[in-house]
Structures are given as C-alpha cells and as structure tokens.
Structure 1
Amino acid sequence: MKYKRLGETELSAPPIIFGGNVFGWTVNEKDSFKLLDQLFDMGINMIDTADSYSHWAPRNKGGESETIIGKWMKERGNRDKMVIATKVGSNPGKDGRDISKDYILKAAEDSLRRLQTDHIDLYFTHWDDDKTPVEETLDAYKVLMDQSKVRYIGSSNISNERLEASLEASKNKNLPKYEVSQPEYSLMERDKFEGKLQEICHKNNLGVTSYFSLASGFLTGKYSTEEDIEGRDREKFLQEYFNEKGKEVLQALKDVSDRHNISQAAVALRWIMQRPGITAPIASATKPEHLKSFEEAINTELSQKEMEHLNEVSS
C-alpha cells in the first residue's frame, strides 16, 4: 500500500482515511472494534474523528467516537502505529462553535482523555466561529504543540479569507501553520474545493483530506429515489442530490463500475484519489463487508477517458 505525505508534515496517510463519524452513531462499540481491526489489518491506519462525533444519535452528547477509538487503541496497544486526526470548535452544532484559546485548550484535554493518548497527531479547526482572531486560535495550538500534546494542525470549514489570514499570521507572527485542509469534496460537491481553496492549498503546500467523499452514501447507488431515504439517519444529508445531475452521476458510476467489475463506491473514491491536489479521501463504512470497496478503489486505476466522463457529468 502506498502512503502519501500529508502536506509538509512527517505524517503519512493511507490511500483512504477512515471517517470515525459512524462510531457511536450508526455503529455500536462492539461492531466499531471489528471495523477498526479490519482496517488495521488492511493497512488503513489513519482515523479521522472529532470531539462532537457522534452527537446526532439520540442521547449522545458528542465525544462518543473518540471514546470508542481510545478504548480500541488501549486494548490493542497500537497507538504508536496509528495516525489520529480529531477536531475542535463544533461543540456540537452551529450555536456552540467556539475556537477561542480557552475553549481549545480545555477541549484538547477532553479529547486526549477520551482518546486515552498523550498526543493528537493532527488537530483540526472543525468550524470557524467567525469572531475569534485567527492569531488567538493559532496561539492556542502553539501552547498545545509546545506541550507536545498536538503534533500538527489543520483547517476544515473555514472561509478562504480566514484561511489565508491564518497562513499569513503563521508566517509573520511565529505561529503554527495549518498543514492540512479538509474540505467537502465528491462528484456531487466539487465547488467547495476546486478553484480558490485548491489554489491556496497548492500555493502553501497543504495536504488535502476530503470529507463526505461518497456524498453521505448517495454515490454508492444504494438510494435510487427519495423514498429510499425516508426516515433514515442520513436523510437530511441526501435530499438535495435527487436531481438530474445526481441521476447522470449515478449512471456514469454504474457504467464505469460495470466495466471494472467493482462497486460504484469504489469508483467514486478512486475518482477523488486521482484528482489533482488530493492527498486522500475520507470515507466511512458501517459493516466489514463495506470495506471491500476501499480495497477495490486502492487497486483500480481509472483511465483518462473515464476520468473525463466523470468530470463532465459532475461539473
């Protein structure tokens, strides 16, 4: 398996990063351990989570995903072989967004406790609160990095303007630099990365780990109509994709997947893996058999013609 360097860090990412948002939400602890064991055996040793995961589930408050990952690493004794990315600032949901220094310092301690580790490999600003000075946020990370509690930092869901201001502050004020960007990116959502953000990442040598790579499961082909998603956990994420573009993308995925005899999910992931500027996509699964699509994506190469066709129907 080929690993890619994340930006200018000393961290390496597997071809696909596993999204830990499902742990404690659509996957219970016992089944999460099974998934983590299989991923580890496959060589997928990077997990992306957040302090707010998985607050969507009834009775959850957030932090459940980190807790499960921490227990698994403790039981397996493999923390030194894992790359753990988590996030701060969501708290959870829009009303609680906070990236002030005091909040980050406390939240980091909570994440370290749940993860049962003494350091976070990659710590993301999850959401911007649009009010905290970028220097204050970066100074919080500097404190954590000076204490060896955080190795590197990244940004997700902050505006291009605030990202550029942060990178400028890093250069001029001896503050840590965001090394990785985590945008939403898939065949159904290209504008949030392509263009300005992609230029910023290229100019500043940022690694890029995309989330919602399968458009919340839409690109797997599992859901054909809006009726298929009624009452499901992901309904609110999927509703907007049932349009003409969605139909064309699913048909193109089916054509390519049939040609290679692999799943549509594998084609969707492979498309991202072959796109310029991407280090690795983040993807989730809820059952061990779903991980077959990861293996298919890793072991498949799409032709230039196939890439161009997928680009055309998704533009």
Structure 2
Amino acid sequence: MTKSIRIGNSELAVAPLSLGANVFGWTADRDASFDVLDAFVAGGGNFVDTADGYSAWVPGNSGGESETIIGEWLTARGARDGITIATKVSTHPQFAGLSAVNVRAAADASLARLQAEHIDLYYAHFDDAETPLEETVAVFSELVDAGKIRAVGVSNYSAERVAEWFRIAREGGYHLPVALQPHYNLLERDFETNGLQAVAAAENLSVFPYFGLAKGFLAGKYRDEAAAGAADASPRAGQALDYLDDRGRRVLAALDTIAEAHGVEVATVSLAWLRLQPTIGAPIASARTTAQLPALLASVTLDLSEDEVAALTAAGA
C-alpha cells in the first residue's frame, strides 16, 4: 500500500483503505471473517471499521457480533498494536442513544468484546435528539482523558450539528473530533452539497465514507435483476438494484471503460475515485470472502488521470 494518511489532527495514521466489518457475524461467519482479516493485513491493510450494533438485525444475533469476532482475531493473532480499530456507539439494542451513562457503558462493553484496552477511533454513530449535544460532547472527551478511546469521530450527523459539536467542544475545552463518516460514493453525492464536505475541510476532519461501493452496485455485480437474485448474491443485492436506472448504467459504462484501460476491476476504479475526492481519508469497503479483497486493495495504488476522475464525476452527477 501507499504511505499512511493521518486521521485529522490526531496521532493516528492508517493505510488509505478501511475494511468494513459490518458483514462479520452476518454474511461472513467467524472463520470466514478471520480469513478476510488475515488477507487484508497481508495486503497492507491496518484499519478496520465496525460498530457495537453490528449485526443486531440478523435473526439470532443480539449486537456486538462483529466486535467479538474482531476481538478474538486480534487476540489470536497478537495483532492489536498493528491495527487501528474504529467502532461506534448508539445502535446496540442494550446501549441505544448517546447519553453520558449509555456512552460510558457502551464503550466498556465494546472494549470487552474487542479484548482491548482502548478504542482507537470512537464514533457517535447517529445523532441523538433526545440527549443534549453538550452531554454527548463532554462524555466523549471524558473517554479520551480516561484513556479508553484515542480519538473522536462523528457519523451520520448533519453539517450544522457537526459545526455545533465543534463549537461546544471549543467552548468547553473538550477534545475535538478528528473524523467524519458519511454516506458517500459515485452515486450518493449529497456529501458534496449538504455542507459536510465544507465543514470537513474547515475543521481538518478525515472523511471515511461508508457504502463506498453502493451495496455492491459500483462493483459491477448487479447489472440486472437476475444477478441480484443469484444464489451467491449478497443480502443487500435487492437494495443495490435501486441504482439500476439510466444514471446508474451511465456510471457503470464509465467505470467499465476506465477499468478496461487499466486492466483492473470495476470496484477498484470506484474506490479509487472516492479516495481521490477532497477531504477523503479512506473509503470503507467490506468483503465477505477473501476473493473480494484484491479488487479493494488495488484501489489504493490505482492512479486515475484528471480526465478519468472528471469523466466519472460527470457520469454520476
């Protein structure tokens, strides 16, 4: 991989691709998840993104399955010092919301599942309208002071609320966020116009967008309903078909042309475009099998020309 990028103003430095662990304990069982993590690290990866709520939506799961698998892998491989772990709070069924009491308890539960002494990057996963933002900002800073987390991140917040978080933090002398996690890819472009890109630039936030491959659509996997209904299709395939319109086909055509020119897969081009956008630290992409990883890892070193970036940007506009 290329040299590391620094996360905002923190001391954290990571390779510019984050492995999304939302599939661990869902479409990837423990053994498959271990294989993916092993291959990701062997390919130069060192940044893993999860959340305490993954994957409570799966029948039989209760939340925390992804963190548990990661913790077991970290311990089994003795890999904790070489891996940067990002996790999130507010969606675990037992730890919903962002009250101070809840955040403290959720952080301790995540640390136990991860078998770790600290969380590298801890996100407020979703804004909590029921809890004063001042309370949330203060408890996240408290966790930094306690050594339980190293840095603060914000996910799925509006630009106005991110700016408010910074105002409160500065006035209270609290630790400032260093990372932002929005929904952003070639087909989901609100990030560019809703103020989040601007506040990320103004506050030197490293941006780690999720659904970088639009639930598999930008990997070129789902070009018709038959592909989405195939036996090996992801459970998200039906959602990916929402992108199968004139705009989606236009983006796939542009991706196909550039992928062919470089001799790489469509997913590689999609993630490379995302990596090259302003304020982006690293795209987040998940893999439920090791076979899916090479295309993701290749995106880190793929150099797209200005014309290629512009063509993709225009196709997805």
Q: State the TM-score, normalized to the length of structure 1.
A: 0.95
- Other-structure match for 1:156: 155
1:291 aligned to 271, 290, 293, which one?
293
For residues 144-223 of structure 1, the aligned pairs below 5 Å read 144-223=143-222
Note closer, same or farther for the CA distance 1:253–1:92 as it changes in structure 2 (3 Å cut): farther
- Other-structure match for 2:56: 55
- Other-structure match for 1:225: 224
Secondary structure class of the residue paired with 1:107: helix
- Other-structure match for 1:115: 114
Asked whether the 8 Å contact 2:19–2:286 carries over to 1, the reply is: yes
- CA positional deviation for 1:56: 2.7
Asked whether the 8 Å contact 1:2–1:14 carries over to 2, the reply is: yes
Q: Distance in 2 between matches of 1:223 and 1:16?
A: 23
Q: What do the CA deviations read for 1:49-70 (whole angstroms, capped 9, x no partner)? A: 0000112322111100000000
Asked whether the 8 Å contact 2:191–2:197 carries over to 1, the reply is: no
Per mean C-alpha deviation after superposition, the further-off stretch among 163-172 and 193-202 is 193-202
Asked whether the 8 Å contact 2:155–2:182 carries over to 1, the reply is: yes
For residues 271-282 of structure 1, the aligned pairs below 5 Å read 271-282=273-284
Paired residues in the alignment total: 313
Asked whether the 8 Å contact 2:17–2:297 carries over to 1, the reply is: no
Q: Distance in 1 between matches of 2:225 and 2:33?
A: 28
Q: Distance in 2 between matches of 1:105 and 1:236?
A: 37
Provide runs of 4+ in structure 1 moved above 2 Å.
Answer: 192-195, 226-232
Note closer, same or farther for the CA distance 1:81–1:194 as it changes in structure 2 (3 Å cut): farther
Q: Distance in 2 between matches of 1:298 and 1:145?
A: 30
Per mean C-alpha deviation after superposition, the further-off stretch among 84-93 and 19-28 is 84-93
- Other-structure match for 1:257: 259
Asked whether the 8 Å contact 2:222–2:240 carries over to 1, the reply is: no
Asked whether the 8 Å contact 2:54–2:66 carries over to 1, the reply is: yes
**1:13 maps onto 2:14 in alignment:** yes
Per mean C-alpha deviation after superposition, the further-off stretch among 188-197 and 18-27 is 188-197
Q: Distance in 2 between matches of 1:80 and 1:201?
A: 28
For 2:292, give the aligned amino acid: H
Secondary structure class of the residue paired with 1:305: helix
For 2:37, give the aligned amino acid: L
- CA positional deviation for 1:232: 4.8
Q: Distance in 1 between matches of 2:237 and 2:117?
A: 37
For 2:197, give the aligned amino acid: Q
Secondary structure class of the residue paired with 1:298: coil
Percent sequence identity is 41
Q: Distance in 1 between matches of 2:148 and 2:104?
A: 10
Q: Which runs of 5+ in 1 are unaligned?
A: none
- CA positional deviation for 1:2: 1.4
Q: Distance in 1 between matches of 2:93 and 2:221?
A: 29
Q: Distance in 2 between matches of 1:299 and 1:142?
A: 35
- Other-structure match for 1:126: 125
- CA positional deviation for 1:162: 1.3
Q: Distance in 2 between matches of 1:110 and 1:206?
A: 27
- Other-structure match for 1:308: 310
For 2:207, give the aligned amino acid: V
Q: What do the CA deviations read for 1:180-209 (whole angstroms, capped 9, x no partner)? A: 001111001011344511110111111111
For 2:103, give the aligned amino acid: I
- Other-structure match for 1:238: 240
Per mean C-alpha deviation after superposition, the further-off stretch among 14-23 and 53-62 is 53-62
Q: Distance in 1 between matches of 2:293 and 2:60?
A: 28
Note closer, same or farther for the CA distance 1:92–1:2 as it changes in structure 2 (3 Å cut): farther
Asked whether the 8 Å contact 1:186–1:214 carries over to 2, the reply is: yes
- Other-structure match for 1:90: 91
Asked whether the 8 Å contact 1:88–1:99 carries over to 2, the reply is: yes
Q: State the TM-score, normalized to the length of structure 2.
A: 0.95
Q: Distance in 2 between matches of 1:97 and 1:200?
A: 27
